Each structure stands twice: as structure tokens, then as C-alpha cells.
Structure 1
Amino acid sequence: MNAKNRRMARGLVTGAVLLGFAAATPAFAEGSWTSYITGWTPGKESRRWTDNNTDAASTSVSFSGCSSDGGTGFRQAGLKLWKDVFGPDDDQGTKSNTCNSVYWGDKASGKYYFELWSVTSGGQLSVNSVTTRY
């Protein structure tokens, strides 16, 4: 193989490797928002968001800096994900958040929100940072 052909082959291999790295980059969630919670009681709802389902990202809610008014401190919060539809909203399931992240999987397109379903130890929940990804 002459020098010109070797350079061309090397260029093709380098290009293929770089293209492979570009294709291997992780997929990011379609959207997210960050907020906080102060003095929530069961039945309180988050803001609503629209998931256009343009990706395969799991819908998640992450808490950090959690506290409750119970004598034993915060242990967990039950969060129920709802799909906002005409008529009764569609229950997407309840997860126990222990001041970490909970996941509901890749959801169909639509409008969603979560509800504080329960608080273990106390009746009010406060969270320094709430991040919702979808």
C-alpha cells in the first residue's frame, strides 16, 4: 500500500472512530425543572409539565434536603404520578421517595404532575431541592 492510500485509510478509520464516539454519547431527558417544597401536606400537587415523549428518558422526581415535622424526622414521602387527562386523571403509580430519586419509566406523551400521597413521620414535608426530569 502506498503512502497516499495509507493516509486515506487512516483518515477513514479516524473518522469512523470519532463518529462512533458521537453516536455513543448518552441521551439526555427531553426536559426538566427544579423547585422546592415548603410545608406540603398529603394531597398537594406539583406544577404540571408536558412530556412530548421525544426521547426514551424515564420520568423521575429527585429530592435533596428533606425534612418533616414528625418527632422522628423525615423518613419517606409517597409520591403519586398523574397523567392530566379529560375526566378523572390517570394514576401512573406511587413511589416511596426517601430523599433520593424515584422513577416511573418512559411515559407516553401528555401532561403530568405528582402528588404528595403520604409522609412517614409527621404531616408536613419540606424539601430544599426538587428536580423533575422527563
Structure 2
Amino acid sequence: MRKIRSAAVIAAGTATILGLSVMPAHAEGSRTSYIAGWRVGKTSNTWYDNNSDAVATTVTLKGCFTDSEFHSAKLTLYKSDGTSYGTKTNTCGTSSWTRPGKGTFYFKLTDFSGGSSFSAEKVEIRW
């Protein structure tokens, strides 16, 4: 009985140490919102990234739909000075831009499939 208890304590301690070593980095900031009836060219509100961490900027879409049949949306990340950090195709999941630096950012809906308006029940932005 004592050997089993000792093995369980060692296993739990090892799992705790391993778990702590692979914890994900935490984003500097985040915001949750939604998109209702956006047309191509619409932009998000801005956020400020101090670039004080090693975490990518991500936009996660959930519950996506259009006034027709949704397949994907294209999102472009911009800095407030107009610098583009590229366009990502999002199929109602997460788009990621690797550490764009310090500054004020926003994303633009640059295209989407099906219909004339795009909506997402939940939008999570992390920076």
C-alpha cells in the first residue's frame, strides 16, 4: 500500500512540474465582441498593443454566417499608420499574425464568400 501511495505522489508531482513547463503564454490584452451585417471594407474598433509579450495577434470568429451561404472570410490586419500585416482566410476559426509590434491596430473585412453581408456571433481578439 505504501509503495502505491509513494508512486502516486511521485506521478502527481511529475505531472505538476511538466504541466507548469508547458503552460501557454498569456496575451497582453483581449477583447470579445461580435460582427453584425458587415459589408466588405468594414473595419473593427482599434486596440493598442505594447508588444510587451511574445504572443501573436489573433482574431477568432465563431458562429459565422452570411445572408446566403458562408464558406470563408478574409481579414487583413492593419496598423493605424496604414501598414498591412497581411490577409488571412478565416473559415470561422482563428487567424494569427506573428507579433506585429507596438502600436494601434485594427482588422478589416476584405472579402467573404456568399451573400452581401457577413456576421459572426462571437469575435475574440487577442494581442
Q: What TM-score comes out, normalization by structure 1 length?
A: 0.78
Structure 2 counterparts to residues 113-128 of structure 1, below 5 A: 113-128=106-121
1:16-47 CA-partner distances (Å, limit 9, x unpaired): xx888756533200000000000000010001
Q: Percent identity?
A: 41
Please name the residue that 1:82 is paired with.
78
Query: Root-mean-square deviation (CA), in Å?
Result: 1.8
The equivalent position to 1:52 in structure 2, one of 37, 47, 50, is 50
1:11 paired residue number? none
Q: Letter of the aligned partner of 1:79 in structure 2?
A: L
Partners of 1:66 and 1:21 lie apart in 2 by 34
Deviations 1:36-67 (A, max 9, x none): 00000001000100000000100000000000
Question: Equivalents in 2 of 1:74, 1:20: separation in Å?
Answer: 41
Gaps of 5+ in 2: 1-12
Superposition map of 1:1-134 within 5 A? 25-70=23-68, 73-85=69-81, 89-134=82-127
In the alignment of these two chains, the number of paired residues is 113
Measured in 2, the distance between the counterparts of 1:119 and 1:21 equals 40
Partner Cα separation in structure 1 for residue 72 and residue 55 of structure 2: 24
2:28, 2:114 → 1: CA distance?
A: 35
